[in-house]
Chain A
Amino acid sequence: MPATTKTNFQLVSNGILNENPIFRLALSMCPAVGISTTVMNGLMLGIAVLFVQVFSSCTIAAIKNYIHPRIRIPTYTLTIATWVTVIDLVLAAYVPAAYKEMGIFVKLIVAFAIITMRLETFACKNTVSASFWDGIGMGFGFMFGMVALGFVRELLGMGTLLGYDVLGFRPLLFFVLPAAGFFCVGIMMALFNYVEIVYNRKKRAR
């Protein structure tokens, strides 16, 4: 893939819509199924991924010319692990309130497919600034997916939103269980695809 010709805005919207990590690329499904039980969990993991993705993308874009092509995967892993550790330590030291909520999620990010994939397909071929905007787009796209899933699952499973009781009862406890994560992701994915088909059809008709 040659260097991107997209504008910064296109890069961001590409991450959120066209190449949404969860609904379009179907990457990082583990957290999408396992952690998106509440809006808060989704938001926290989304923020953590956003930071790691942006920092890792920029780092790899900056050093891309010095990486031996045969050992790029270990270098990516090392970069991600370093940033995850740094963010974990800094949060624990200076933002204890956020760390209390996010602590267990941050460490999980080391193994996220979406971050490695963006480094491999985008950051190692593009400039630092393009990688930065791509990272922002992917991070927000992931966050959007997690929050959307969390919204549905928390509302239907626990009758609450962000911990506040909105329904006053629990419609279907099933939705907070891991199995329901698969259903929610599937239905959302179908919805995403359907919207795209309708949109393209209208575009052609015009």
Chain B
Amino acid sequence: MKSILPVLTIIAAVLFIWTLAVVPMNMHLTADQAQRSGARVTPDTPIARKETNGFVLALKNPHLIPLTYVGKRPNLPSPHQVAVEMFDTIFGKKITSKRSLVYHGWITLAPTLLGFAIGTLLGVLLAVGIVFSRVMDKSVMPWAIVSQTIPILALAPMIIVVLGAAGIHGVLPKSVIAAYLSFFPVVVGMVKGLRSPDHMQLDLLRTYSSNNAQSFWKLRLPSSTPFLFASLKIGISASLIGTIVAELPTGAKAGFGARMLVGDQYGQPILSWAALFAAALTAAALVGIISLVERGTLCKMGMKPA
């Protein structure tokens, strides 16, 4: 409960700044529309207004300020517009409807989870290889690092196209991109975790004449658990981002990414913003679930959570 208050404070501050920013951001649009429908606006030509800054325009036309919060196609939607849109599209539509955010959420979530599973498995396997084989340490690690320096935005369409040409459509191509982003934090975290036992602990096992497999299962793997969870939290959010990025440039018809793109292309920013926030909430929920599993696991293992 103690952690709730600081979080709420930050949210309140963000909402406050956001609410203030809506006025100057939308002022020009609002003034143009108001004039067209016969209201008096100073200055009275669009060109003169263009040269006036949004704040000044708001001060000169205080009667227009409330209208900046209700525009249909604002530059910056107000918080309540986004909230209403989200409520409508999450609770107000059947979840099978193409206009339901829950529907689009699931379209994005499925490849996210599959990609996360693939990425985690791949990451753990690579980490084990890297820790136990010098050759893999020297050869795989640099490539893993290089893989993350390639802009995913450039790579994603290529992967989709190549897999599409190979006849693979649907969930899998998006999962591949999600896995591409999520395996890396798992590799880095697990390599560190599997190497975390100190000399003394390894020497102790040597005095028992234990073999490599025994020291892996009894010492290295349990030691790496806290590192694994830290990586999983980064990995799952990277996975979600990967899936959304995969939806953006490829003309996907559904999913958070498609929703954001549609909102942009058809001048419906409220739609984009609602999808954006839904994606953020989904990521927060996923990270939250992993945190809960982490707490449970570490507690069961007798370790006090850090």
Q: Do A and B come from one complex?
A: no
